Chains A and B, each alone.
Chain A
Amino acid sequence: MPRISVTVDGIRYDEEVEPRLLLVHLLRDRLGKTGTPIGCDTSNCGACTVLLDGRSVKSCSVLAVQADGGDVVTIEGLATGGTWHPMQKAFHEEHALQCGYCTPGMIMAAIDLLHDDPDPSEEAVREGLEGNLCRCTGYCTIVRAVRRGAREMSQEMPREGMATP
């Protein structure tokens, strides 16, 4: 069996995996990273979205072996030192979740969306999150949350910049 080395939420894992093992099953069943759920089997719903080397991927559509040498961030790795990521806070503040099943993927996809467009319009958020489905909210509060998260992230960045030598 192929041996892979993958970093997930800051911890390095060396694992022997079947070539067909999906990244999401590695995360959930082997590494106990159950914060990333599975909502479909056709890569339509986006519930399993994580960051792989900084960009969002649907972890049901990535083989574990493809993540070899990669750096994965899941919803469980977003908060730092007990402080929620601004996007997590924004989802809470705007009531952008009900059952919460789509939320991990929605938050990870939103963070990646801001990578390309740090201040997205409502329309840009709606288009940008097209690959993530929510059955509860009707999306309005998710759109508000992403834009709020974007504002708060842009305010935090200068501070981070100053702190970095």
Chain B
Amino acid sequence: MTEQLDAGVVARQIKEGDLLGGPGGGREVGRARRRKEDARLVTGRTQWTDNIQLPGMLYVAFLRSPMAHARITRVDTSAARTQPGVVAVYSGQDFAAEQGSLPCAWPVSEDIVIPDHPPMAVTEVRYVGEAVACVVATDRYKAADALDAIEIDYEPLDAVTDMTAALDEGSPKVHEAGNKAFTWKFAQGDIDAAFRDAAVVIDRTYVQQRLIPSAMEPRAVVAQTDGDSFTLHSATQIPHVLRVMLALTTGIPEHKLRVIAPDVGGGFGSKLQVTAEEVLCLLITRRLGKPVKWTESRSEGNLTVHHGRDQLQRISVAADADGRIRGVKVDLLADMGAYLMLVTPGVPLLGAFMYSGIYKMDAYDFTCTGVFTTKMPTDAYRGAGRPEATFAIERAVDELAAELGMDPIELRRRNWIRHSEFPYTTICGLTYDSGNYEAATDRALALFGYDKLRAEQADRRERDDPVQLGIGVSTYTEMCGLAPSRVLGSLAYGAGGWEHAGVRVLPTGKVEVVTGTSPHGQGHETAWSQIVADALGVPFEDVAVIHGDTSSSHKGMDTYGSRSLVVGGVAVVQACEKVKENAKQVAAHLLEASPDDIEFSRGEFRVRGTGASRTIQEIALATFAAHNLPDGFEPRLDADATFDPDNFSFPHGTHLCAVEVDTETGATKIRSYVAVDDVGSVVNPLIVEGQVHGGIAQGIAQALFEEAVHDADGNLLTTTMADYLLPSAADLPDYTTDRTETPATTNPLGVKGVGEAGTIASTPAVVNAIVDALRPRGVQDVAMPCTPERVWRVLDQAGTAPRAGAQTTEGGPA
């Protein structure tokens, strides 16, 4: 595609003043507003947790296990205690009586084993990096120095690093109860009938490699107490959930614990956690009565921020000769790591309902076994279960197309839910409210120049060009807007999925919005301002958004699972409706009319059929003065709302990726990438585009670059950013993005969520493209990340790699 086209698409999306409509034909919703958040972020006035310095503050440093599995036989902290600046040194034994167990909020099955998870190891360590002791000192350098003086003896135990081997009878055990955490099954339809006599059966195993989420801001915690109550600042996505969980874990009463998430530098699920360090910093400040701070180093974070993915997926697809899918069977092994953290066991199950993707079928069978290993626990990472599911089904559908000699788009057309069939209840039991897969795909094909690229591909194959072209298709959907509380209850999750909002109208007519969502880069301050500006008819600039502090935003379920707009934004709308209803009572009274005769439009309450009106600002001031209000009227316009959705939302889209694979070197270059997403109605196209871009980048990163690698003893080898390859600008292409808009029918904004879409869609698009490039050379799969070495080795094994020789001096693996 041309640069001109890219620019045109982009310009269409983010043109200032672009009006895409919204509640009441609003002026703000749909507009590419520049973000309010940026002012502090581009000038260095951000409030990161590590910025906080308090009088008398002490610094905590953790000593971490150098072994994946060992018994602690001796701890001697005496030498460390005498180091300069050292205030205290603690080992697990010192906390044993009070530290409790880190919570798992998602006991997914009856048979689940939830091992005790002490924040600091007391007798046994089960992954490299587990905290075994800590130093509290007067500055961060002294704290780090004193760690060297702590002596700990270990008796090594066998590491358990392979999920499949872990389930063998004779495997060393991670926990006394064994290595199986749970088994979870789900089935619909007659799966045996679907596979019996099927013309084609595709049977594949895919490896979802372990990933390190790598938010740019490392975790940090500041804990303080006045002797009665506690305040915890943390770089967290979930201040509200964290408060409840910390109260339950530490015994500090909930009303004596304030949790603040100040500016938070990215999360991607990695800060959706109750961490050992948060608990321990609270316990330390309780003991010492002094404020304490802990900030992790990146290499500490790579070891001890929960990891993502790490599943072994066996997927079988049965189809008729014409390509109609009859049924899908999935057997999943999911690596839990050493313990079950906040939602560890639930992550693969969030994918359980997505293996049917956008396709119709007669039967579905899903089994997931959670397995303990001696590695850092896994938990939510952008998409959490849904990228894995989407990868498997989209890869398998491409394989099916290849098996049938059919174009992968055509095969999808034959199976997907047609626009006219919505709402549609899938074989997995979800009711997709809306969507238009035809429209998104047609648009993507046009932007991509699909037919032209196919012609070029044929030409390169014909010429046996050493650089082959591959085209990858990914027609994804996802369930987001987490989540209807009843559904979460039926899945044994420990909390609900509602969200809270409060809208306060100040005497001068300015508006404060209190939200239970907890943004860490998503731009809620801007988007919520747009929503409120339209709902109440106040200027965008007159709205402030308050979040992330349990004392000012007392109620919430926080930010993850593409839920903030779909659930939290709707709560904001509902609170605004109540505010308007209150204001209407006042307006009617001031205008001496019946409330039934009052119309509201763009901030004005008007008596129908007359010119008499009051602005919302006038009503705010009149309500504040309270001199002349209706009898019995409580003098306030403010209102709260808590919204619990009836259904998930289902964004979808079509992503197309063209890659050039150098069969001599194994190197993959993304030649073009087109994403047409349907995330329903859009509040701010600029923010949506940003979320899509970033999501695509993370999905590409899984496909091409990233992998947490352990050796046979369970040591993480990718502990730094020098070893764990986060892509830079030079490693990634530009993207062509566009949207179709099929509004969600399940919420008044028509929104579907966009936080995870790009990540879910892009990984299979890239790998499908690589396999498509190499298929004529006998390649059916390349394990992720598809590094040059991996690609080269796959070609080498297939016997189709050009041998290094006369024409080239490069090409071998490094």
Any chain B CB within 8 A of the CB of A130? yes
Chain B nearest CB: distance from A10 CB in Å? Answer: 14
Cα A131 to Cα B694 with chains together (Å): 18
Q: Mark A6-40, 1 if CB is under 8 A from B, else 0.
A: 00000000000010110001001100111111111
Could you tell me if B216 and A88 are in contact, using CB atoms closer than 8 angstroms?
no
Q: In residues 49-63 of chain B, which contact A (Cβ within 8 Å)? A: 50-51, 53
Of all chain B residues, the one with the shortest Cβ separation from A144 is B10
Of all chain B residues, the one with the shortest Cβ separation from A39 is B216
Of all chain A residues, the one with the shortest Cβ separation from B3 is A122
Q: Of B43, B53, B722, which contacts A35 at CB under 8 A? A: B43
Chain A residues with CB below 8 A from B728, complex form: 126, 129-133, 139
Q: A99-B266, A135-B698 are in contact. Are A45 and B42 (CB under 8 A)?
A: no
Could you tell me if B46 and A35 are in contact, using CB atoms closer than 8 angstroms?
yes
Chain A residues with CB below 8 A from B720, complex form: 40-42, 44
Chain B residues with CB below 8 A from A56, complex form: none
Of all chain A residues, the one with the shortest Cβ separation from B296 is A41
Q: Mark A60-97, 1 if CB is under 8 A from B, else 0.
A: 00000000000000111011000010001001110101
Could you tell me if A137 and B693 are in contact, using CB atoms closer than 8 angstroms?
yes
Could you tell me if B729 and A135 are in contact, using CB atoms closer than 8 angstroms?
no
Of all chain A residues, the one with the shortest Cβ separation from B45 is A35
Could you tell me if B44 and A35 are in contact, using CB atoms closer than 8 angstroms?
yes
Chain B nearest CB: distance from A8 CB in Å? Answer: 12
Q: A39-B216, A138-B693 are in contact. Are A92 and B38 (CB under 8 A)?
A: yes
Of all chain A residues, the one with the shortest Cβ separation from B526 is A95
User: Considering residues B48, B216, B268, B729, which has the most beta carbons from chain A within 10 angstroms of its beta carbon?
Assistant: B729
Could you tell me if A98 and B689 are in contact, using CB atoms closer than 8 angstroms?
no
Chain A nearest CB: distance from B215 CB in Å? Answer: 6
Cα A90 to Cα B265 with chains together (Å): 20
Chain B residues with CB below 8 A from A79, complex form: 43
Q: A34-B48, A135-B215, A140-B693 are in contact. Are A100 and B41 (CB under 8 A)?
A: yes
Q: A38-B50, A139-B729 are in contact. Are A88 and B43 (CB under 8 A)?
A: yes
User: In terms of DSSP, what is the predominant structure of the interface of chain A?
Assistant: loop
Q: Mark A129-152, 1 if CB is under 8 A from B, else 0.
A: 111111111111111000000000
Chain B residues with CB below 8 A from A99, complex form: 215-217, 264-266, 520-521
Could you tell me if B51 and A41 are in contact, using CB atoms closer than 8 angstroms?
no
Chain A residues with CB below 8 A from B14, complex form: 95
Any chain B CB within 8 A of the CB of A103? yes
Could you tell me if A122 and B734 are in contact, using CB atoms closer than 8 angstroms?
yes
Chain A residues with CB below 8 A from B218, complex form: 38-40
Q: A35-B43, A104-B44, A126-B729 are in contact. Are A93 and B34 (CB under 8 A)?
A: yes
Chain A residues with CB below 8 A from B41, complex form: 97, 100, 103
Could you give 17 example pairs across A and B, Cβ below 8 Å?
A25-B140, A25-B141, A39-B217, A44-B721, A47-B216, A88-B42, A92-B34, A92-B39, A95-B35, A98-B690, A98-B691, A99-B521, A100-B46, A136-B690, A140-B734, A140-B735, A141-B690
Interface residue ranges, A against B (CB under 8 Å): 18, 20-21, 25, 28-29, 32-42, 44-45, 47, 74-76, 78-79, 84, 88, 91-93, 95, 97-104, 107, 122, 125-127, 129-143
